[in-house]
Amino acid sequence: MLETIFAWETLTSAIRMATPLAYASLGGVFSERSGVVNIALEGIMLFGAFFAAVGTYFFKNPLIGVLFSIIAGTIIAFIHAVVSIKFKVNQIVSGTALNMLAAGGTTFLSRLIFKAAGSSPHIEGFTPIDIPIISKIPGIGLIFSDLSPLIILMLVIVFMSQYILYKTAFGLRLRAVGENPQAADTLGVNVYKYRYIGVLISGILGGIGGAFLSLEHARVFVENMTGGRGFIALAAMIFGNWKPIGSLGACLLFGLAEALRMRLEGVGIPTQFIQMIPYILTMLVLAGAVGKSTPPSADGVPYEKEEI
Amino acid sequence: MEEIIRLEGITKYFPGVVANDNVSLTIYKGEIHAIVGENGAGKSTLMKIIYGLYKPDKGEIYINGKKVNINSPKIAISYGIGMVHQHFMLIPPFTVIENIILGSEVKNGISLNFKKAEETLNDIINSLGFKIDLYEKVENLSVGEAQRVEILKLLYRRAEILILDEPTAVLAPQEVEELFSILRKLSSQGKTIIFISHKLNEVLNISDRVSVMRRGKLVNTVNTKETNKFELAQMMVGREVFLKVDKAKREKGEEIFRVEDIWVRGRKGLDVVKGVSFNIREGEILGIAGVEGNGQSELIEAIVGLLPLKKGKILFKNKDITLERIRQRRLYFGHIPEDRHKRGLILDFSVAENCILGLHYFDRFSKGIFIDYSKVYKHANEIVEKYQVKTPSIKIPIRNLSGGNQQKIVLGRELSFSPDFLIAAQPTRGLDIGATEFVHQLLVDLRNQGKAVLLVSADLDEILNLSDRILVMYNGEIVGSFSQSEVDEKELGYYMTGVKKQTELKEALI
């Protein structure tokens, strides 16, 4: 059993499992840094996964699939943004409604379009890439070979986001409206604009995260295939203290848990217990992280402009 | 003198009230112009109109003689108007420099150019003669420093007119002096300062001219040199005001309350009250002075039972009550909490229901497990009558009452079971002069009846006026103890800011 766990394959599989989480988690960072709680990420991922499959299936091109997932994610995020920013509806309620819409909607559309219950036909994802030279090193090279371009893109976006959030005027303003929108407003920063941008970015990223699941991971769309990953991504965001690199770290941890789950199936422990691993880890991590990590002060609080 | 702002006939209606009633006012370039008035007199509304946060219903604003239309703070800023709000508009986890440049960032490609901003800021800071670490997080700053960040924010945006809304309300006396020295320098650099306050001593100290507002109207504008405290107070209130409360001398009475070597751990896990001991005897008011955040709140919370004690003893009439539960303890003393909205009232409950909070289980208010509302209403009516609470009905949510009337309900409730000991934390915060007078008189009356009062206040005038003995808290400790006659505001200030400390606290336990 130990050889099963301590293998390079566990790490490559952890990174693969972490990737969709990292996209969604990063989306959560942008949304919540701007002050909008986005539990609709679960639904956004599911829509992303579904439309990536649709795009790829009909155009025979995974790039179109990803584009579809981005559009779908953005539309759902836009609904969430309008409802929670403009109409100031409770953001948890809005998110929950969208998640239910996603669960039912994608199942319905899937059966309508693919004419089959349960899952879509097989789809072709991206051609994997080997990183030159490093991938040839025995052992560790395994991590750098056979990589999905979406994994590389994820890493680029995470580090870029860290820079954008902390070193640019855009990032400063986005974080400001999530901390103290009134202060930002008095300095002429358009609170609503930055909140819309934050939520829409979460739609784009959540959509790509979903696309990874159907295109790269399963090579098929399965009904409700996100299985709570949107929520695990939010847990990672909290554990990562609402920071891009921190969230990535947390996602790798959760990815590792999922990798272990897969590798441990069939070693004799009842699978029900094995399958609990990622979720139990989520709970443990959250129990430990809450109170220690600090959310943006105005996270989840609609902004009411003082105007009489 | 050159005029910089002229207001003509500014009128602003809010539902049910005229917040500003035909206000006309001229402000000259380079002057420090104070605007005084009671809460609700319309000072803040007028300033928010100048700063573009409110739109006036009538009237015109001229800047440098030209008529302008200020629809938003952004436009106000472009006319060189800046405002330091009463509640700071800062982002605690951001650094000083991030707070300052937000919204007017200097860029270097797509990145923020902190170096360039730093140069501009250092020039300003040097010209004003103070120091501040631009890369420190704002959450680690003192209140005085945070206020300087607010002022820097305005100057960085090249503000020529600075509006400060009650800037001294949260400062210790020495910090007030520092602020005033900055304001004087700014004024000598040709900046115009509008200073809102209701502390008349400060207004007389800092301003060139004073405008007095009452009930939305501008009563008068006078030269500071030609007026005095009593005249201003009279203009503010519209009648003669008694700024001092008369107290009869009393003999030393029996001890009512005592705490011994109290230690309290704060919510962040650090000790915030460190070995505090004092006692209070019947017929006296013990005042605790101190800059807010030095452990006073936690001390009170520990005494009433909201925070656990780490160590120490609490005695009421020589009986150890340290381990008693809140419901038991509550009957020993009345408690006016420092934040009446959070701890004193439930804003969406009716006035009558608020009159029995925490006393609801008394036989006199209940029938078995049910509340007997006829008795509750009778009780509430008694309080309303006795304390002259202005309310259209005792059945409306208490949210609709003014701060002064809300506080009277808290007082009425807490005194309704005739406790021998009253804990009053910031009892007049946010109240107007009339209500403040009322509360002060009530506390002194209690003292004169032989009850004990613990008064915690950030308002030194209040402490000095009412207390028989004064303790100063700094950084969780009692650092000074005085009898009323032996100390003044300035001396207290040294203890409040940690400059001085007594080795022997001879007035803490008597």
Question: Could you report the per-residue pLDDT of B95-143, keeping only the tens digit for each?
Answer: 999 999 999 899 988 899 999 999 999 999 999 988 899 999 999 888 8
Tens-place pLDDT, residues B375-420: 999 999 999 999 989 888 999 999 888 888 899 999 999 999 989 9
Give chain B positions within 8 Å (CB) of A186.
Answer: 53, 73, 83, 85, 89
As a whole number, mean pLDDT of residues A267-284 equals: 85
Confidence of residue B430 (pLDDT cuts 50, 70, 90): confident
User: What pLDDT, on a 0 to 100 scale, did the predictor assign at position A291?
Assistant: 67
Residue A198, domain member (yes or no):
yes
The strand pairing partners of B309, in sequence order, are B264
Q: Is the pLDDT of residue A153 over 90?
A: yes
What element of type H or E holds B66?
strand B66-68
CA max distance for chain B: 75
**Which residues of chain A does B74 touch, with a Cβ-Cβ cutoff of 8 Å?**
188
Candidate from B57-61, B208-212, B463-467, B505-509 with smallest mean pLDDT: B505-509
Higher-scoring residue by pLDDT: A267, B277:
B277
Point out which residues pair with B271 in neighbouring strands.
B265
Among B14, B90, B112, the residue with its CB nearest the CB of A183 is: B90
Q: From A165, which residue of chain B is nearest by alpha-carbon distance?
A: B111
In a domain, A138, yes or no: no
Angle between helical axes of A8-33 and A41-59 (0-180°, round to 10):
120
Q: Taking CB atoms and an 8 Å cutoff, what residues of chain A touch B73?
A: 185-188
Q: Kindly state the percentage of chain A with pLDDT values over 70.
A: 98
Cβ contact (<8 Å) for B89 and A182? yes
> ipTM, 2 decimals?
0.90
Identify from B44, B83, B102 which residue to disrupt to test chain A contact, counting A C-beta atoms within 10 A and taking the largest count.
B102
B57 pLDDT more than 80 = yes
C-alpha neighbours within 13 Å on the C-beta side of residue B369: 0
Closest CB to B112: pick one of A172, A185, A308.
A172
Residue B388 region by backbone torsions, left for phi larger than 0, else alpha for psi between -120 and 50, else beta: left
CA of B91, closest CA in chain A: separation in Å? 6
- Cβ separation B14–A173 shorter than 8 A: no
> Does A304 touch chain B if contact means CB atoms closer than 8 Å?
no
Rg over alpha carbons for chain A, rounded to the nearest Å, is 19
Query: What is the model's pLDDT at position A308?
Result: 40
DSSP bridge partners of B3: B28
Flag whether pLDDT at B17 surpasses 90: no
Mean pLDDT across chain B: 91
Q: What is the CATH number of the domain that holds A155?
A: 1.10.3470
Would the CB atoms of A294 and B54 count as touching at under 8 Å? no
A306 band by pLDDT with thresholds 50, 70 and 90: low
Q: Give the minimum alpha-carbon distance from B103 to chain A in angstroms, rounded to a whole number.
A: 6
pLDDT 10s digits, B312-348: 999 999 999 999 999 999 899 999 998 888 889 999 9
Average pLDDT estimate for B64-85: 91
CB-based contact B76:B131 (threshold 8 Å): no
Amino acid at A300: G
**Which of B85, B93, B112 shows the shortest C-beta gap to A169?**
B112
Q: Which CATH architecture has domain B245-332+420-510?
A: 3-Layer(aba) Sandwich (3.40)
pLDDT band, very low/low/confident/very high, at B44 (cuts 50, 70, 90): confident
Most confident segment among A4-8, A67-71, B44-48: A67-71
**Interface contacts (A, B; CB < 8 Å):** 67
CATH 3.40.50.300 is right for the domain spanning B3-237: yes
Whether the pLDDT of residue B81 is over 70: the answer is: yes
| Strand runs labelled E in B341-429 | 366-367, 370-371, 421-425
In which band, very low, low, confident or very high, does the pLDDT at B482 lie, cut at 50, 70 and 90? very high
Sign, CA torsion B87/A172/A233/A8: negative
Q: In angstroms, rounded to a whole number, what is the distance separating the alpha carbons of residues B207 and A33?
A: 42
Q: How would residue B505 be classed by pLDDT, with cut points 50, 70 and 90?
A: confident
| Tokens (6 digits) for A235 | 């847990």
- The count of C-alpha atoms lying within 13 angstroms of the C-alpha of B128, restricted to the half-sphere facing its C-beta, is 25
Distance, in angstroms, between A194 CA and closest chain B CA? 12
Nearest CA in chain A to B56: A308
Touching B: A residues 147-176, CB under 8 Å = 167-170, 172-173, 175-176
Query: pLDDT, tens digit, for every residue of B189-205?
Result: 999 999 998 788 889 99
pLDDT at residue A307 tops 60: no
Q: What is the pLDDT of residue B454?
A: 96
* CA A37 – CA A45 distance, rounded (Å): 16
Residue A166 to chain B, least CA–CA distance (Å):
9
Mean pLDDT of B421-430: 91
Q: Which residue of A has its CA nearest to B110?
A: A168
Q: How many domains does chain A have?
A: 1
Contact A176 B90 (CB under 8 A): no
pLDDT of residue B242: 64
Residues of chain B positioned with their CB less than 8 A from the CB of A170: 110
Question: What average pLDDT does chain A have?
Answer: 92
Whether A9 contacts chain B with CB within 8 A = no
Query: b/e string for B436-462 if b means 16 or more Cβ within 10 A?
Result: bbbbbebbbebbeeebbbbbbbbbbeb
Count the Cβ atoms, other than its own, within 10 Å of residue A268.
Answer: 6
Average pLDDT over residues A148-163: 96
Q: Domain residue spans in chain B?
A: 3-237, 245-332+420-510, 335-418
Q: Which residue of A has its CA nearest to B154?
A: A187
pLDDT value of residue A283? 86
What is the domain extent for residue A117? 2-126+146-289
Element (H, E) at A174: helix A169-179
Residue A290 has pLDDT above 80, yes or no: no
Q: A180 vs B91: CB contact, 8 Å cut-off?
A: yes
Q: State the Cα–Cα distance between residues A18 and A162, nearest whole angstrom.
A: 18
Average pLDDT (B288-299) is 90
State the number of CA atoms in the 13 A half-sphere of B458 facing the CB.
17
Check CB contact under 8 Å for B101 and A172. Answer: yes
The CA distance from A28 to B6, in Å, is 49
Model confidence at A66: pLDDT above 90: yes
- CA–CA min distance A306, chain B (Å): 7
B229 CB-near residues (< 8 Å, 6+ apart): B200, B201, B204, B243
Nearest residue in B to A298, CA atom: B91
Of B89, B98, B112, the CB nearest to A186: B89
Chain A residue numbers touching B90 (CB-CB < 8 A): 180, 183
Handedness of CA A21, A24, A25, A26 (dihedral sign): positive
Q: Which DSSP letter does residue B357 get? A: T
Specify the pLDDT at position B250: 73
Q: What is the amino acid identity at position A47? A: F
- CA-to-CA distance for B498 and B306, rounded, in angstroms? 27
Spatial neighbors of A204 by CB under 8 A, at least 6 apart, are A27, A70, A73, A74, A77
Residue A67 lies in a domain: yes
B317-326: per-residue pLDDT in tens? 999 999 999 9
Q: Which of B83, B89, B112 sits opposite A180 (nearest CB)?
A: B89
A1 pLDDT band (50/70/90 cuts)? low
The pLDDT value given to residue B159 = 94
Q: What string of DSSP letters covers B206-225?
A: H-SEEEEEETTEEEEEEEGG
> Please, where are the H alpha helices in A180-291?
181-186, 191-211, 229-239, 244-264, 271-289
Contacts of A28 (CB under 8 A, 6+ apart): A38, A41, A202, A233, A234, A237, A247
Task: Identify whether A115 is part of a domain.
Answer: yes
Share of chain B above pLDDT 70, in %: 99
Q: What is the rounded average pLDDT of the residues B418-434?
A: 88
pLDDT digits (tens, 9 = 90+) for A6-33: 778 888 999 999 999 999 999 999 999 9
Residue A186 has pLDDT above 70, yes or no: yes
Domain presence at residue A220: yes
Q: What confidence score (pLDDT) does residue B244 get?
A: 67
pLDDT at B74: 84
B92:A184 CB<8 A: no
Residue A300 lies in a domain: no
Q: Nearest chain B Cα to A291, which residue?
A: B268
B206 residue type, one letter: I
